[in-house]
Structures are given as C-alpha cells and as structure tokens.
Chains A and B, each alone.
Chain A
Amino acid sequence: MQHFLDFEGPIAELEGKIRELRHLSGESDLNIVEEVARLQSKTQLLLQQTYAKLTPWQLTQVARHPDRPHTLDYVGALIEDFQPLAGDRCFGEDHAMVGGLGRFRSRSVVVLGHEKGRETAERVRRNFGMARPEGYRKAVRLMRLADRFQLPIVSFVDTAGAYPGVGAEQRGQAEAIAQAIRTCLSVGTPIVSVIIGEGGSGGAVAIASADRVLMLENSVYSVISPEGCASILWRTNDQADAAAEALRLTAADMKNLGVADTVIPEPVGGAHRNPDPVLKSVGRHLETALTALEGKDPHTLVAARRKKYIDFRRI
C-alpha cells in the first residue's frame, strides 16, 4: 500500500486510476496503452508542479515520509562488508542509533545513523528513530573507535529528536548529547554527515557536528519541530505550517544560512518515489566530501572543524 501525503491527493487519484486501468486491461482486450500513457504524463506533470512549490510544512512531511530511504537503506546500497556494532558498554543497546564498520569505495569507515524502521513492529523496536542516552553513548564509543584507527566517520541523520522520556532523562540524555557533540569536535579523522530526512534538534546535531554537512533536497533541519514551536509560540497545535515557515528549516535555507555545505537533489516527487538514483547520488557526494578531507593530519582537522563552528556567522 503506497502512502500518500495530504497534499498529494490529486496525484493519488491519478495513480489510482492508472492502477485500475491496468487491472481492467488484464481482464479484457481493451487497448489502454494510450490512456495509461496520457494519465502517466499527467501525473508526472502534477508531481512536478506540486513538488516545485512545496511549503516548508509540506516539505517536513516529505522528510518524514515512511517510504523515504532510511539509514539502513543507504548502508545497504553504499557500504560493503558492513559489520554492525552494538552497545554503549554502560547500559544497553539502542536500536534507534545504528552503527558499525564497513567499506565505502575501497576505504574502511565507521558508519553511524538514526534508524526509524519501516514496519510497525520495527518502528517500535527502533523507538521511531528517537535515541536514548545509550544511543548517543554508543555513537561516542564508535567515534572514538574511528579516531583510534584513523577511519573516516559517515553519519546519517534522520530523527525527530532525542527521546524525551523519564528513563532517558534519568540516565542523562543531555549529558549524552553534549558528550556526542564534544566527541564529534574532538576526533582527528574526517566526519561527513548527511541529513537524509528529519534533522531534529539536539538529537540530530549530536552526530552532525561535522567537517561537511550534506542535505537531501527534501530533508529538514531545525531547532524544534514545527508542531512543538507552534504549541509554544502560537499556543496552538494547528499553526505548524506557520511555524515551519518561520523556522526556515528547508535544505535550501540551510545552504543559504551556511549550515549545510551541499544540497543533494532528489528526483521529482521525492526520494521515496524513486530511491535508487538518490542512493547513488548520496554515494557520489560522500565520495567527493571524504576525498577532499583525506590525508589531513588529525590536529589540522580538529582545529578546522572547531574553527568552523566557533566562527559560524560571526560578524
């Protein structure tokens, strides 16, 4: 069952018609090739028109689309001989934060990323991609591992935010995030982050304080969710669209503001409609970013990374 977003109503209708026609043609001798082609080009045009002028709130929904490629899809497509690694060595294993060793284009790397999961049971197991302190401490552990063996770090960001639960608080959620940021800013090996869906606040920047930050065209990055912002500043939940607009959270905004280095284009209709070219394109951009950072000595890398953040938009 394909998942359509609210604003995709007309597109869903057309695609439904196409399916119906195809179904019919199986049963009769009707020649529907022409009709299907006509509807398909109409759908394509409609997709183009719709996706050309998505509002920030609609973009947020695309970024959260359940069929969008997730971290493990990128790992599957881009990382060879992947060896997942588990646990923070203090408390537990957090399935919302995946990580491990693997080979990316003939070099070994440490991979980190939020994983939202896809089927219901899997989504629950992964806590919908919202990591607890264990997840961030595992990230710290893997980043240190990368530092020790001089392996580049690739992180995939896709989270609504760090989990705001009682247990997470009691085990030091804030400290875990702060340590993850500190570790990002202290490892003497290249770090490249790709924001593939939702970049939700502290839980995102915890693994995205990087040398290079790449963003998919339909991903978002924000200090607070539009819903959360609306409920605090507008004191109502139904102003999420206004909040999304005000927060300036799109990939294009991030590029303009200097937060993201590169915006990776997506096919018409978003990565969830056609994942393959997106997976490939992310691979190419990662390769470019990593190649540019390789061969620098650890001190230079750390100093440059810290300077980048300290001087961020300084007058």
Chain B
Amino acid sequence: MSWLSDFIRPKLQAVVRRPAVPDLWTKCPGCDRMMFHKELEAQLQVCSACGHHLQMPVSARLKLLFDDGSYELMELPEVEEDPLRFRDRKRYSERLRLARADSDAADAIAVATGRIGARPCVTAVLDFGFMGGSMGMAVGEGLVRAAEFSKKHKQPLIAVTASGGARMQEGILSLMQLPRTVAAIEDAREAGCPYIVILTHPTTGGVTASFAMLGDVALAEPGALIGFAGPRVIESTVGETLPENFQRAEKVCELGMVDVVVPRSELKPTLVRVLAHLTNGPLPSPEDTGESSTAVAVIA
C-alpha cells in the first residue's frame, strides 16, 4: 500500500464513480408531483398527472422506437479529441472525461439500426445528458455515419434531437458540423431516403440551424423548446419580453415550423404511419411491430 493506492486512487474513484443508488423519486417539472422511477419508466417519462414530457434516456428512446425494443448500436469511429486544447475555467478534456464517467457514452450521440414498423431504419439520437447534447465533431460524425448508412442501404433516416447547439469547446470545428451534417443528409435524401426528425426538449442553436429543421417530416414532442437563440439570449441581447409559450412545440407548430406535435405514447405509431406513406408501403398491424407493448398500454 502506498499513498498512490490509499490516497490518490480513492480520490480519483470518488470523482469517476457514479452514485451507487440512483434517485428513486423524480419531481415533475410541470406540476411538482413526486413520481417513483418505475412508474416514470412505465409511462415513458411522462407525468401521469399533468402530461409533462420529461427528457428520455437514449436507451429508452431507442427501445420505444424500434420494434420489440430491439436494435443494434452502430459503433462510431473515433474523432479528433480536443484539437483546440480548449480551456475555460476547466479543461475541455476534463469536462469530456467527467461526462463520459457520468454516462457510459463516448459523446452526445447514439446511432442504431433495426426495424421500425417492420421496416429497416437507421436512427440517430442526441443525448442531452451528455454536455447538453452539444454538437461537436463526434456528434457530427454520428450523423454523417447514420446518413451514409441510410444512403447505402436505402433505409429511412430518423434523427431524434435534444441539444443546446454547437459545442463551444470545439470552436469553429463545431460550426463546421452544420454544413457537414447537412451535406450528409442531403446525400441520403437525394438517394430517395425519407428523413424524419423528432424534435424533443430542448432543440436549439446550431442543431436547429442545420439538420434538425430539414426533415421531410418534422414531429415534435409536447412542450419541447424549439428555436435558434435560447430564450435568455433573446431577453438579454434584444431586451424583448417573450410572448407566452414562446418557442414551445405547440406554438412552433402553430407558426408552421413543424408538422405535428405528438404525445410520446403516439410517437411510434405516428412515425410508422408517416414512413409507410412516404415509402408507399404497407401499414403493418400493431402486432407486427410490438405496438401492444406494456408501455403504450399503460399510457392509453
């Protein structure tokens, strides 16, 4: 035993380790009701009292979308890490390390393949829990890989967004992900692949200003904040007071920016319907797609 193992290692582990007991209770941000984690899970992270849609973990989202909750994660290639050697009050490399220790994920995106409504699809999901879902080179690479897969296999491409925008710590390299993701998605769209975007809370900044607002069809979750500049930026720089429900999905839909606001319980059947129509294919019966799963039954 030495100071290394007695002192330094426990300290490091304390930083890295996640709490052994996850929070069992969650307060609904909409109505302050306390909800037990099992109840929340069963209800797809939607408050049963007020209908508030809480953020959904990436794995739960993929389970919800893919038939029988079954999908395969795509292994994403590594990207340059912290090429700017960015440092604010903390090093970016340190922020990345902490975010990874917190989440098991390498960055703020997961790409999965599988069947949705019996139709092979590729889905990219942004993870707001990982540095606010911010888009740097890794998220850009994930989108590009998903779009390339879609184009190659002629499969629909689905993007589920939740992001504060571009990742500041990657500076201009994150801004370059705007044209980068748009280029990849355009290639897939021109190859005839449907591109569906599901906008969840919140989707702002460089993500809305690129691939998130370019879906052939755009679905949004109730209450999701969708916009370019965040509300605080608008208030502070322009000094304008914000109207009621400003940038909320329902309002954004009324203003013509998305096609439909869909409650989470209806998300999968809506997606399946849209994909069936766009491909002029059959509408599978609910049994074929695992639609009668318990989660949906509970909500209904």
19 A-B pairs within 8 Å (CB atoms) are namely A164-B229, A164-B234, A164-B238, A174-B228, A175-B208, A177-B228, A182-B186, A185-B179, A201-B206, A223-B168, A223-B170, A223-B171, A233-B168, A246-B88, A306-B187, A309-B179, A309-B183, A310-B184, A313-B137
B227 within 8 A of A: yes
* Across-interface contacts of A186 in B (CB, < 8 A): 186
B34 within 8 A of A: no
* Across-interface contacts of B172 in A (CB, < 8 A): 221-223, 247-249, 253-254, 257, 259
Measured CB to CB, the closest approach of chain B to A248, in angstroms, equals: 5
- Whether B238 pairs with A181 at a CB distance below 8 angstroms is no
In the complex with contacts A166-B238, A181-B210, A248-B84, A174-B227 CB distance below 8 A: yes
* Across-interface contacts of B184 in A (CB, < 8 A): 306, 310
- Whether B88 pairs with A233 at a CB distance below 8 angstroms is yes
A279 within 8 A of B: no
**B59-76 contact mask (Cβ, 8 Å, vs A): 1 or 0:** 000000000000000000
* Across-interface contacts of B183 in A (CB, < 8 A): 185, 305-307, 309-310
Measured CB to CB, the closest approach of chain B to A259, in angstroms, equals: 5
- Whether B182 pairs with A178 at a CB distance below 8 angstroms is yes
- In the A-B complex, list the 8 residue pairs whose CB atoms are closest, starting with the nearest: A164-B229, A174-B208, A209-B179, A233-B88, A174-B228, A306-B183, A223-B175, A173-B228
- Alpha-carbon gap, A178 to B141, bound state (A): 18
Q: How many A-B residue pairs have CB under 8 A?
A: 173
- Interface SS majority for chain A: helix
- Whether A205 pairs with B141 at a CB distance below 8 angstroms is no
Measured CB to CB, the closest approach of chain A to B202, in angstroms, equals: 12
Partner-binding segment picked from B5-13, B239-247, B268-276, B284-292:
B239-247
* Across-interface contacts of A229 in B (CB, < 8 A): 88, 168
Measured CB to CB, the closest approach of chain B to A58, in angstroms, equals: 18
**Most A Cβ at <10 Å: residue of B171, B210, B213:** B171
- Whether B168 pairs with A232 at a CB distance below 8 angstroms is yes
List CB contacts (< 8 Å) of B181-212 with chain A: 182-184, 186-187, 204-206, 208-212
List CB contacts (< 8 Å) of B228-259 with chain A: 228-229, 233-234, 237-238, 240, 242-243, 246-247, 255-257
In the complex with contacts A185-B183, A315-B78, A178-B208 CB distance below 8 A: yes
Measured CB to CB, the closest approach of chain A to B235, in angstroms, equals: 10
* Across-interface contacts of B166 in A (CB, < 8 A): 201, 223-224
B144 within 8 A of A: yes
A202 within 8 A of B: yes
A314 within 8 A of B: yes
- Whether A222 pairs with B175 at a CB distance below 8 angstroms is yes
**A296-315 contact mask (Cβ, 8 Å, vs B): 1 or 0:** 00000000011101101111
- Alpha-carbon gap, A242 to B234, bound state (A): 24
- Whether A184 pairs with B168 at a CB distance below 8 angstroms is no
Measured CB to CB, the closest approach of chain B to A69, in angstroms, equals: 23
* Across-interface contacts of A177 in B (CB, < 8 A): 209-210, 228
* Across-interface contacts of A63 in B (CB, < 8 A): none
B25 within 8 A of A: no
**A195-226 contact mask (Cβ, 8 Å, vs B): 1 or 0:** 00000011001100100000000000111100
Measured CB to CB, the closest approach of chain A to B64, in angstroms, equals: 25
**B147-182 contact mask (Cβ, 8 Å, vs A): 1 or 0:** 000000000000000000010111111111011101
- Whether B234 pairs with A314 at a CB distance below 8 angstroms is no
Measured CB to CB, the closest approach of chain B to A222, in angstroms, equals: 6
- Alpha-carbon gap, A166 to B240, bound state (A): 7
